[in-house]
Chains A and B, each alone.
Chain A
């Protein structure tokens, strides 16, 4: 293959891919055409089942069982891939195209040394010797900024943290310096701070190696600022394709527009009562072909014409294509990234989120005082502690303890939402388990409705607990697939005997109606439901006992944005209707911000900051909160729209400017775990750092942080409580952007 630096690296034309199974053919990719130039990054966006992953796999010709490319061409640097023999294709994979997968915990072979996996492609394609391969592995590991590469190369995947595994995965994909890297949801399984580091890394390597990148994702935030061009897929086709800035400034296809409006980030620029826009209906099944526009059943601008004619992907000016007869944003819609609200048009430009942030921050200062002083809270958690024993040694005796929840206290008023946010391992799920009684606390009180659940005898506690219900993230695992919906819903009634048996059916039907499920769903099984419907069912199951509090543990994190919007809207509607309280747990700050009145930020078992939601999101007081916010991929673009500046400098001038800049890395560079930092995973919860648990990742850490544990204290000028010796103060000068946080990938 000869290099063609000027032409496109990848040219897909009219690609059709089918998955044939059980006699039915799913048209997973239905006529996709796109190009990627050398050094360019293309974002391939869409919700699950839209065909984005199948498009990526068609390029590699790594399709699932029953998958066939039925038509079209895939040309990689002048070579037609669809015509190659499997043997020749094997010389392309890993050599000219590298691929990174979604879940770093399962994409590395657990029984093979990391270094050998990284060097595998060099051995296969270049016939590298053992020594050369080992050297290449170490070289690649240092390229992806892993400290102590020699040791990591000899280690096994389970010894690495999720972020480091994804780095190793990237190293493996790039070992032969391919022209094209396909990254299929590379950061979906990672925490936000790690996500940012991995995306930065891919961006750096793209520039350094001059390769083309296809970034496949469902997350518009990931696309923004990381890609030059975007292709939005729906129903196996590309419905809109243009420069990233053009799409973000003014999406033309109704589906793209709907995707943007469904983002919780967009809510802060709209009146809260309006709720998020959610796309009605479900995506097409791709088996039966219907005439007309594939989005017609769900499109709010649909006209008769759309049902009979199929729109082609073309646009009004070159470079911006969309498959729609009646594109949005032609008249009266705000375009450009100036931040003017689309008055009259009813559509808010995406960039408004940023201006919305500033506006709310300004308007919020007056209402800073905590509102919880007057009324008796529905729930008061104080001094909650939970340790998990760690077995070790020859006899498997308790050798230590993981401190999962350490002295956590907060309050929740009736009818309000407390949002608990934190990365994996922060202890937020343990708090949920303690509240609903799945675990017993080692210390502390859980005062619910005036009575301490932790101190109560078991029987009494069980009765009380029907007032607190749990809603899981993975409702599929928590709902018995062999039970009909009516049994799933009447089971809690039977256990707690709140209603007579005769009243069950009426209750079930009423609750199904409330959560927006059809009445005939009562005879279906949970497994027949889609993700969103299952989450409705989970909500129904929690609701049927008329609880005062629902503990929702990541209830929407497995859902696509449009469905996520439906569930969030539903939860808010029910909250208003029944004065429900939620303890809403999520790793996603924008979801938390949309839902919560009060936010608590957890880090390694500690509540490090708590206070009014807007306050915390716009002016965080704890360095960890600040780094979380900075890591959230912002849905903004355009030349003038950089990341939202994160207001905050250390309070009271205790830190010199020198200390500040010491932590600042090069802009855009992923923070390197320095030689002094811990090389492997983040701090070990079995041995949390002395003093402040965040200090190993904190740019402001000083000696006192190691000696004294900071207590949760009221912030000097704001309404929140912060556990930090040097809380961030009001915005004055300078920016503490995400780059100052030496993060641990």
Chain B
């Protein structure tokens, strides 16, 4: 297991370095003013590699340059928006898992029943609908018509402020969660169907006891193995969904900031945020690999 994880960690580091190289290359390609703004004056006569290393050193110490538009450092913008986005994506992913795993399992166990068909229809609907449309529909009914929830995300600063405003947080989280549930549940269903067809499930039934025990102790864990990998892989999708949701609900997270920066040609902010998202994606897939290893002993323990 250690060798496996060490290998994955090395790969993650390599990916992160690659991301920094690409971002750095983009900075160099940007108009001269930007390059100086990000890399500092006196960088023009340096070699590419030397420039890169200096820049990398600064990035590592937390200095991502200054916004071209706002009188703030990229780091400060990040510090304000990153936690907000983490709350949004984190809460909705957890909710999605808590719903999607039982739903997919139920569908598989009751395959081709009315329950399965209804749930399948619902997940297809959520899966096929763009988050933008889904969010708009939710706003229209749940916020504008019936006033259950706010139409805008929480506007207070900081994580505490966001969490303290559940009325406004509900719709953004719900939108993002629904999209994710659809993906996860469909995957969980097929994965559980796969496990149910395995001979070890028959063998477990032959040992007696109720069907519930067979499902919980044999089917569930085996079906989760591929799903965990999927979570790691769908991280970019979740981040993409978050971007749309943040814009839609005027929720000032990272996605909202990037959008603002892109619209206003604020290159340093765009690139700084891109860098952070790239790193987050690499870390996310590393986490998924660790989860995979925990669930599947064939990965964790090699043959003696």
Contacts and interface: CB of A to CB of B under 8 A. Distances in A.
A344 interface: no
Nearest to B4: A394
A680 B304 contact: yes
B108 to A, nearest CB: 13
A173 B304 contact: no
A159 B304 CA distance: 7
B200 A108 contact: yes
B297 A110 contact: yes
Given A106-B199, A107-B199, A112-B217, A173 B206 contact: yes
A94 B207 contact: yes
Given A111-B225, A158-B298, A159-B301, A106 B198 contact: yes
Contacts of B10: 394-395
B274 interface: no
B132 to A, nearest CB: 39
Contacts of B42: none
A430 B17 CA distance: 41
B225 A101 contact: no
Given A90-B208, A106-B198, A394-B10, A99 B203 contact: yes
Interface string B204-231: 1111111001000110011001000000
A735 interface: no
A62 B206 contact: yes
Contacts of B6: 394
Contact of B206 (A94, A103, A106, A680): A94
A62 B202 contact: yes
B298 A94 contact: no
Interface string A360-396: 0000000000000000000000000000000011111
B203 A156 contact: no
A112 B204 CA distance: 11
Contact of B202 (A90, A107, A117, A159): A107
Interface in B180-198: 198
B117 interface: no
Interface in A701-717: none
B199 A172 contact: no
Contacts of B69: none
B274 to A, nearest CB: 29
B224 to A, nearest CB: 9
B39 to A, nearest CB: 33
Interface residues of A, number: 41
B29 interface: no
B3 A392 contact: yes
Interface in A334-369: none
Contacts of A101: 199, 202-203, 206
B7 interface: yes
Given A101-B203, A159-B301, A109 B209 contact: no
B242 to A, nearest CB: 32
Contacts of B298: 110, 156, 158
Which of the listed residues B198, B210, B218, B304 has the most CB atoms from chain A within 10 Å of its own CB? B304
A99 B209 CA distance: 14
B211 to A, nearest CB: 8
Interface string B280-304: 0000000000000001111001011
Interface stretch (A119-127, A465-473, A571-579): A119-127
Given A101-B202, A110-B297, A90 B3 contact: no
Interface in A136-177: 155-156, 158-159, 169, 172-173
A580 interface: no
A226 interface: no
B3 A394 contact: yes
A117 B218 CA distance: 10
A60 interface: yes
A93 interface: yes
Contacts of B208: 90-95, 121, 124-125
A98 interface: yes
B296 A108 contact: no
Contacts of A121: 207-209
Interface string A79-108: 000000001001111110111011100111
Contacts of B304: 159, 680
Nearest to A97: B206
Given A107-B199, A395-B7, A112 B218 contact: yes
A99 B207 CA distance: 8
A87 B213 CA distance: 13
A558 to B, nearest CB: 17
B203 A108 contact: yes
Which of the listed residues A92, A106, A173 has the most CB atoms from chain B within 10 Å of its own CB? A106
A120 B204 contact: yes
A159 B206 contact: no
A92 to B, nearest CB: 7
Interface in B214-273: 217-218, 221-222, 225
A109 B218 contact: yes
Nearest to B209: A124
B228 to A, nearest CB: 12
A723 B66 CA distance: 77
A649 to B, nearest CB: 37
A120 B208 CA distance: 9
A103 B218 CA distance: 17
Contacts of B222: 109-111
Nearest to A110: B298
Contacts of B203: 99, 101, 107-109, 169, 172
Nearest to B208: A94
Contacts of B207: 93-94, 98, 120-121, 124, 172-173
Contact of A158 (B206, B217, B221, B297): B297
Contacts of A112: 217-218, 221
B5 to A, nearest CB: 9
A81 to B, nearest CB: 13
Nearest to B295: A111
Contacts of A393: 3
B3 A109 contact: no
B3 to A, nearest CB: 6
Given A107-B203, A158-B297, A94 B209 contact: yes
Contacts of A107: 199-200, 202-203
Contacts of B209: 90, 93-94, 120-121, 124-125
B219 to A, nearest CB: 9
B120 to A, nearest CB: 18
B204 A99 contact: no
Nearest to B300: A156
Contacts of B225: 111
Contacts of A125: 208-209
Contacts of A680: 303-304
Contacts of A159: 301, 303-304
B202 A156 contact: no
B164 to A, nearest CB: 41
A47 to B, nearest CB: 21
Contact of B213 (A124, A155, A173, A396): A124
Contact of A93 (B200, B205, B296): B205
Contacts of B200: 106-110
Contact of B297 (A120, A156, A172): A156
A392 B213 CA distance: 38
Nearest to A392: B3
A222 to B, nearest CB: 20
A109 B219 CA distance: 9
A-B pairs with lowest CB-CB distance, top 4: A94-B208, A94-B207, A124-B209, A93-B208
17 contacts: A60-B206, A62-B202, A87-B210, A90-B208, A91-B208, A93-B206, A93-B209, A94-B206, A101-B203, A107-B199, A111-B295, A124-B209, A155-B301, A158-B298, A159-B301, A392-B3, A393-B3
Given A90-B208, A111-B221, 17 more contacts: A90-B210, A97-B206, A103-B199, A109-B218, A111-B222, A111-B296, A112-B218, A124-B208, A158-B303, A159-B301, A159-B304, A392-B3, A394-B3, A394-B7, A395-B7, A396-B7, A680-B303
